[in-house]
Amino acid sequence: MTSRGTTMAEALNTALRHALRDDPAVHVMGEDVGTLGGVFRITDGLAAEFGDARCADTPLAESGILGTAVGMAMYGLRPVVEMQFDAFAYPAFEQLVSHVAKMRNRTRGRLPLPLTIRVPYGGGIGGVEHHSDSSEGYYLHTPGLHVVTPATVGDAYGLLRRAIASDDPVVFLEPKRRYWTKEDWSPDGLAAPVPPIGRAVLRRPGTDAVLITYGPSLPVCLEAADAAREEGLDVGVLDLRSLVPFDDETVCAAVRATGRAVVVHEASGFGGAGAEIAARVGERCFHHLEAPVRRVTGLDVPYPAPLLERHHLPGVDRVLDAVRDLQWPSATRAPHGGEPYAVGA
């Protein structure tokens, strides 16, 4: 692997390979993760290198997969489970809520559950029903789980390594339409590790407003910020990276510095992560806000057919419409003022 043109899929594969190499307690398991290397080839070559005892194909039974992983974790192993597609994970939800999320609390901290659940999620690949859900809201609402989602190649590697090393269960949401994006990254250049789970990162500074986002919506927001500059607005972009734990400090610093915020995500709006983020910003930054926090989300409908998904997913035009609607004092612009902020880097 060279230092140029590394995909997110390659970074995830490298993270799993390094975790298996460094810790004999790590085991990868899931449907088709062995010989096939996973539907998206994230586990390609791992079974050949580490054997099918360390990278194991399982029956097509998500509840059984996760239940088995719970037992493995209770006995000191570090299983990494792949759920193959977002909506395929729903049959395992009872195991997740009743056991994975509660074990540490149930045993008063005596029995941690070092379990990582990899879930390819989100749309943008022309997938049919049950293949394009953004199900993060279910996990966010379940106390006892950490929930993270990388948007960059470096975070794909770094956050997955941190998730596997964590003694808390981590739902690791992988934006599948980002799998084949390439960035200048190499595992040889890890002298500066990525920020830990629980830290947001400013991807672009700005003085007039901030777009708060994560996972598959990051490139949309970066493109929207570029377009907003052509209209005379300096818009920042904040990548949450971690939904639980949530980085209130960095988010609020960005909002207070600009006075205006838009939350962007693919999941449906009603009861989604954006609602929680907007509420937290409203509670903590009310006197700094010059406009209500806006949300740009997926529509409140079941995921549509592939030819219609472009209407469902937040795009640059919808994000720009929300920015324009942030109650600017004039028809042109009246920025919040101040120097560009730089927080969470």
Q: Is 13 helix (H, G, I), strand (E, B) or coil?
A: helix
CB distance 221 to 274 below 8 Å: no
Which ranges in 75-208 belong to alpha helices (H)? 93-95, 103-106, 136-140, 153-165
| End-to-end CA gap in the chain | 27
Nearest one of 132, 127, 176, 141 to 156, comparing CA atoms: 176
Nearest one of 70, 46, 66 to 58, comparing CA atoms: 66
Give yes or no: 131 in active site: yes
Q: Look up residue 310 and give its two tokens.
A: 């472009």
- Which of 27, 99, 131, 146 is labelled catalytic? 131
Task: State how far the alpha carbon of 12 is from the alpha carbons of 15, 16, 118, 120, in Å.
Answer: 5, 6, 10, 12
In order, the DSSP letters of 296-327 are EEE-SSS---GGGHHHHS--HHHHHHHHHTS-
Which residues participate in catalysis according to the annotation?
A: 131
